Amino acid sequence: MMAAGNTAKAAIRIGYGWDSHEFKSGIPLKIGGVEIPHPQGLGGHSDGDVLLHALTDALLGALAAPDIGTLFSPSDSRWKGADSVLFLEEALRRVREAGYRIVNVDSTLILAHPKIVPHAPAIREHLSKLLGIGGEDIGIKAKTPEGMGTENAAIAHAVVLLGKASSARKGKFSTKAPAA
């Protein structure tokens, strides 16, 4: 078996995350850390933020680290009703510790309601602050679940690209031509 901790050598690493939660009445709807006005929210052990969970798993996956359910077990009462930003921050801490930074992220939400497009700028701005990258490096797409029969659920897919923190900076800002 490959050592999962031996991740420091690759210049770039890709990560993928997926999550789903069921709509429930009487709770706030949070997507990407932004509260969206809607009669129903997403149920779950934490605040049910499907996009933050998918992003967290994508970051952890890029490091070949344990996934969100392993690090923050749903059977642990500490995470009941937890703000999902906590989970994302732990993944970001691990990214920094491994010597990487986020190059860009992309995501797709699949849900019948509410419409995400009007809220996408607020979600992008919030994610930009949380992730420490520019809004131009954050993809947010939304689709309705045509023919999937998942009208009562919200689904999120996310991919992230990590680059080495130091070499990536050098590559971007160096004005010197590389040695032949």
User: How far is Cα of residue 122 from the mean position of the Cα atoms in its chain?
Assistant: 15
Which residues are 10's β-sheet partners? none
Pattern 55-94, binding to Zn ion, x per CB under 5 A? ----------------------------------------
- Given the complex with Zn ion, which of 92 and 154 has the nearer CB atom? 154
Ordered DSSP codes for 36-75 = E--SEEE-SSS---HHHHHHHHHHHHHTT---HHHHS-TT
- Least distance CB 180 / Zn ion (angstroms): 50
Continuous segment of H or E residues that includes residue 143? strand 138-143
Question: Of 29, 32, 42, 53, which one interacts with Zn ion (CB under 5 A)?
Answer: 53
Amino acid (1-letter code) at residue 170: K
Question: Of 19, 63, 119, 162, which one interacts with Zn ion (CB under 5 A)?
Answer: 19
- Least distance CB 32 / Zn ion (angstroms): 13
- Segment contacting Zn ion by CB under 5 A, of 11-19, 25-33, 85-93, 124-132: 11-19
For residue 23, what are its two tokens?
């709509």
Note the residues at the interface with Zn ion (CB under 5 A).
19, 53
